[in-house]
Structure 1
Amino acid sequence: METTADSEVVIVGAGPAGLMLANILGMYGRSVTVLEARDQLIDYPRGVGLDDESFRTIQTIGLAEQVKPHTTPQHIMRLVNGAGKVILENNPRTLEFGWDRKHGFIQPDVDRVLLDGLGRFENVRVLFGHQVDVVEEDAGGVTAVARVTAGEAETEQRFRARFLVGCEGGKSPTRKRLGVTFEGRSPSTRWLVVDVNNDPLGTPNVFLGADPKRPYVSIGLPHAVRRFEFMLHPHETEDQVTDPDFVNGMLKGHVPDPASLDYIRRRVFTHHGRVAGSFRGGRQLIAGDAAHLMPVWMGQGWNSGIRDATNLGWKLATVLAGTADADILDTYTSERRAHAKAMVDLSLTMGSVIKLTHPVAVAARDAAATVLNLFPQVKSYFADMRFKPMPRYSEGVLADPSTREAGRAAPRLSSNLVAVRTARNKVSPVGLQFPQPRVNSWAGRNLLLDDAVGNWWTVILWGNSPRDVLPGEALAKLEALGARLVCILPETQREWAEAYMSPDVLVLGDHTGTVKKWFDDRPTPMVFLRPDRFVAGACLIQHAPETLDAILASMSFAGSPVLPQH
């Protein structure tokens, strides 16, 4: 039995969640070993939707330019009835987080970018052909025991780490070891997925066919790939529906000549909607499909795994740096689980709308859609994707903006101060993802905010220098946290501020007016921004020291310096 060198984190599974988590930890200088049971990455299409939140994380780890060629931005989705009439269109045009809200993508190519990106980090290694069956945990760490097969020979290798994250998919052994529940349901309906090269249709977007005879999906993807999905009837067997002649017959109403198609795969699958009761047990955690299984209807399976990695990555890095106690890892569950469940529930609901086959129910759905589309506000609600639940953390690494309570944040602002009572928007920004506008700085023009401020903690103040308004004690705590101090003001004042303010304060010019509008609507001119771009605290300037202390308490701050990666 061979014992390998230690690393700080072992990640089991080289799927999207595991690869993204390894990139984030590598970016922060942490040592990681990724163990994957397969001999290589899966090479056939799976996920087809990539959203703006995920693209923002891809931007953070420095791989946006490499991912772009494998995506189709502004991927429009149209729900059509059996007659082909559009009953709902989903075409969000916002750039709130710096990227189009929806992209079609080729998962194997993007996963490959994430894998190749790990080559940038000397402290990260990926080992294929390593099946982890046993994990031993003690007070000091974990030891993963992997079976390694080379030809007919099989050996064991032991990998020691402080933490282990299971990203092994829906049958996750890590989740089973933790003994947590995996609640939800698996609808009995089965679907045939058919992927083909050289798209025979060429239309660029998504059609969800709510056809009572046989619901279907038709998706145009990058690199001229087309995906079809068809709901199967109970009497149809897997052998029957994957037979080429049967598939050609199924496609007859969709393409002129099914027999000439260049098939990538034909596969039967069942949707699952489940969420683990907890994402952590001691030194072992789960992410991606190991933590939640997502029906395909909202295209959120891949993205939910990326959200997990985005939330967990900076917290693990913080613990490993000695800046926070391991208790901060409990906030991974409290912050991520509720949103994962909301996305599962929404996806199941969308599926139930598409899968209707009873004539009365179908007629009622189509009639209701026709009426609702007459109302512009309702129509835009669906078109702009406002029905999608955005992550809002109410418990975790947060400070309530009204009470400055640590670890919790109410959804609305409340105060008798005139600045609060007269605000246009009393929805609290705490626990929400901060927008990503474009700004100017000494380093360049029209930069995305995250590229300007870096990838660690950020304190943003509108119109003034944080160094000029915060007491020395608060500034010392921010220095220990590794936070960057940022002033955003109108572009007209930027050069003056750069000459006037301390050189350690980054001055950004709001040349579009977008940032001014955000701060004008809210009585929170100072924002404490976490590394995952969520707002940990937002307040009036004189409440800043108390707000900072509450944030630090919520993350079990230890006060040890951490080197930020600006």
Structure 2
Amino acid sequence: MNTTEDSDVVIVGAGPVGLMLANILGMYGRSVTVLEALDDLIDYPRGVGLDDESFRTIQTVGLVDAVRPHTNPQHVMRLVNGAGKVILVNNPQTDEFGWERKHGFIQPEVDRALYQGLSRWDTVRVLFGHRVEEVVEDATSVTAMARVAGADGEVSERRFRAQYLVGCEGGKSPTRKRLGVKFEGESPSTRWLVVDVNNDPLGTPNVFLGADPKRPYVSIGLPHAVRRWEFMLHDDESEDQVTDPAFVNSLLAEHVPDPSTLEYIRRRVFTHHGRVASHFREGRQLIAGDAAHLMPVWMGQGWNSGMRDATNLGWKLATVLSGQADDALLDTFTDERKEHAKAMVDLSLTFGRFIKITNPVAAAARDAASTALNLFPQVKSYFADMRFKPMPRYTRGVLADPTTRTAGRAAATLTSRLIPVRTANNKVSPVGVQFPQPRVTTTDRSDILLDDAIGNWWSVIVWGNDPTRMLPTKSLDTLATLGARLVAVVPETQRDWAQQYMDAGVLVLGDHTGRLKKWFDDRPTPIVFLRPDRFVAGACLAQDAPATLDAILEAMHFVGSPAETAVPQGDRTPAAQSA
């Protein structure tokens, strides 16, 4: 007789998204079962780009030290034409979220670091060789039936019941197909050959995108002396032909002095896809990562988009499971993530069309236009600093409009006619975007990243004042129920004074770099309600804080919870890693 094994969440798929989501839920004390059909993690290279937003999430779950050795920070990309002339450079220098904007990385090693990190949480387990073939959902739970092959070849079935199931099984997601969710978009017919080798025969550390009309290509230097090439294939070239060693060697003849001596990791043909699911939740089942969106490789955003999903969904599941919010909160996962995922897909498709032009006349026109535009410093820096990449901005979800304090929606601009707003240097609303992460100083630690100081849950950040003196008792009681940390940021020169003046329950941070002062100086929003995923839920003047908080709680379907069932704050935060 089959027994049913219980946990809070079942995650199907031990890829990077499933592993990160399990780490986040484990950090919040939730029980998780990860079911993976394969017998081990995938060990061949796939994604090659890791961005600053993803590194911030890695920091949150305390795995910076484990991941950092498998990365190549400040990964510069150069777009070159058929003659080898550089027509565009992408080398962003900003570190607003605490980390370099771009890293090359070895995905199998980073994925394994995420997997090994799960051993810290005794509420999380990963079961390999468990293929989910049927899922049954009722009003209170969802049960996954997994097929398991024993060492003797005998097949058995195990049943896993949870309150929610998240499908993270990749682009062919059985979860998405079972739910009947549409996967909208396109799959361009262009095929590419990817070639990975060990002992990089070139040794150059960065990325070259070859916009060569004869055969567009990519050459990428990666950590651990791995080199990747990708070559666009012509329609008359079969998969057997292009994976033949002699053919591959002929492609590499213009790149490597002696291709015959290369140590190949793999040679594989793939097709780009640009698709986004119509919605990411159906009842007690959700999809994330490639199961919810597939994008071409050009912007290096497939892995990172999956990390954004896990970052967004993890705290929401933890909140619902703790009893602090109605599960309507989970509907905001689609509201907040779908549009940005689609924007990244569209940008990747557009960039791919720009690179893979094969008509010589059109390619010459592209090269001439790029050369002319590079003469303008503003245009050149637009590409160099990666400002063409759409940063996530949530306009619907767990938000409060900074002007009207409407729950669940937030305009992108501040429109109040009050003088502090009319005279502000920056009228772009900070609500719905990520808060920066400069370094700060506390009584106990110097020069640490902001997130390591404030912890992994909700925070109320106030510039230059004691939040307990700016908020009424009712609001403070609600914030205590939510488990929010009260934070005061002051110039480093005032930190000792603030430590004595302010309430003992307020975390005082010294802004020794001046970067937070600059942020608050530019915006008429001295009070910021910061979500666990580091997005701003609300920002306002002091007198608007109670109404702003009420709107945020309405948007997140907050119901409160007894102290003993609230989401843990602080005690489960991984050790700070501010390398």
Task: Confirm or deny a common fold (TM above 0.5).
Answer: yes
Aligned to 1:565: 569
1:377 aligned onto 2:381: no
Aligned to 2:445: 444
Q: Give the length in aligned residue pairs.
A: 566
Alpha-carbon separation, structure 1, partners of 2:316 and 2:432 = 16
Residue 439 (structure 1) shift: 0.3
Aligned to 2:359: 358
Aligned to 2:3: 3
Residue 524 (structure 1) shift: 0.2
Per-residue Cα deviation, 1:13-63 (whole angstroms, up to 9, x for no partner) = 000110000000000000000000000000000000000000000000000
Q: What one-letter code is carried by the residue in structure 1 that aligns with 2:259?
A: P
**Which portions of structure 1, spanning 4 or more consecutive aligned residues, are displaced by more than 6 angstroms?**
none
Contact map agreement 1:23 1:117 (CA 8 A) in 2:
yes
Residue 379 (structure 1) shift: 0.3
Percent identity of paired positions between Structure 1 and Structure 2: 76
Alpha-carbon separation, structure 1, partners of 2:80 and 2:542 = 51
Alpha-carbon separation, structure 2, partners of 1:510 and 1:120 = 33
| SS of aligned partner of 1:66 | helix
1:140 aligned onto 2:144: no
Per-residue Cα deviation, 1:52-106 (whole angstroms, up to 9, x for no partner) = 0000000000001110000000000000000000111000000100000000000
Aligned to 2:235: 234
Alpha-carbon separation, structure 1, partners of 2:20 and 2:447 = 27
Per-residue Cα deviation, 1:271-291 (whole angstroms, up to 9, x for no partner) = 000000000000000000000
Residue 237 (structure 1) shift: 0.5
List aligned pairs for 1:49-68, cutoff 5 A: 49-68=49-68
Alpha-carbon separation, structure 2, partners of 1:119 and 1:138 = 31
Aligned to 2:287: 286
Aligned to 1:76: 76
Alpha-carbon separation, structure 2, partners of 1:362 and 1:300 = 25
1:207 aligned onto 2:186: no
Alpha-carbon separation, structure 2, partners of 1:342 and 1:272 = 14
CA RMSD of aligned residues (A): 0.6
Alpha-carbon separation, structure 2, partners of 1:363 and 1:565 = 58
Alpha-carbon separation, structure 2, partners of 1:464 and 1:177 = 53
Q: What one-letter code is carried by the residue in structure 1 that aligns with 2:24?
A: I
List aligned pairs for 1:523-562, cutoff 5 A: 523-560=524-561, 561=563, 562=566
Aligned to 2:166: 165
Alpha-carbon separation, structure 2, partners of 1:115 and 1:188 = 35
Per-residue Cα deviation, 1:367-386 (whole angstroms, up to 9, x for no partner) = 11011000000000000000
Alpha-carbon separation, structure 2, partners of 1:559 and 1:115 = 33
1:117 aligned onto 2:117: yes
Residue 471 (structure 1) shift: 0.3
Aligned to 1:498: 499
Contact map agreement 1:483 1:564 (CA 8 A) in 2:
no
Alpha-carbon separation, structure 2, partners of 1:523 and 1:288 = 36
Residue 442 (structure 1) shift: 1.1
Aligned to 1:337: 338
Residue 559 (structure 1) shift: 1.1
List aligned pairs for 1:65-464, cutoff 5 A: 65-150=65-150, 151-464=152-465
Q: What one-letter code is carried by the residue in structure 2 that aligns with 1:442?
A: T
Gaps of at least 5 residues in structure 2 are 571-579
Alpha-carbon separation, structure 1, partners of 2:160 and 2:181 = 24
Contact map agreement 2:311 2:533 (CA 8 A) in 1:
yes
Contact map agreement 2:143 2:161 (CA 8 A) in 1:
yes
Contact map agreement 2:29 2:568 (CA 8 A) in 1:
no
Alpha-carbon separation, structure 2, partners of 1:152 and 1:61 = 38
Residue 465 (structure 1) shift: 1.1
Q: What one-letter code is carried by the residue in structure 1 that aligns with 2:183?
A: F
| SS of aligned partner of 1:157 | strand
Alpha-carbon separation, structure 1, partners of 2:55 and 2:441 = 21
Per-residue Cα deviation, 1:517-551 (whole angstroms, up to 9, x for no partner) = 00000000000000000000000001000000000
Q: What one-letter code is carried by the residue in structure 2 that aligns with 1:16?
A: P
Residue 565 (structure 1) shift: 2.6
Alpha-carbon separation, structure 2, partners of 1:190 and 1:344 = 17
| SS of aligned partner of 1:445 | coil
Q: What one-letter code is carried by the residue in structure 1 that aligns with 2:93?
A: R
Alpha-carbon separation, structure 2, partners of 1:470 and 1:61 = 31
Q: What one-letter code is carried by the residue in structure 2 that aligns with 1:385?
A: M
Q: What one-letter code is carried by the residue in structure 2 that aligns with 1:202?
A: G
TM-score normalised to structure 1 length: 0.99
1:521 aligned onto 2:522: yes
Residue 152 (structure 1) shift: 1.4
Residue 563 (structure 1) shift: 3.6
TM-score normalised to structure 2 length: 0.97
Contact map agreement 2:148 2:158 (CA 8 A) in 1:
yes
Residue 138 (structure 1) shift: 0.1
Contact map agreement 1:193 1:268 (CA 8 A) in 2:
yes
Alpha-carbon separation, structure 2, partners of 1:542 and 1:489 = 20
Alpha-carbon separation, structure 1, partners of 2:94 and 2:3 = 51
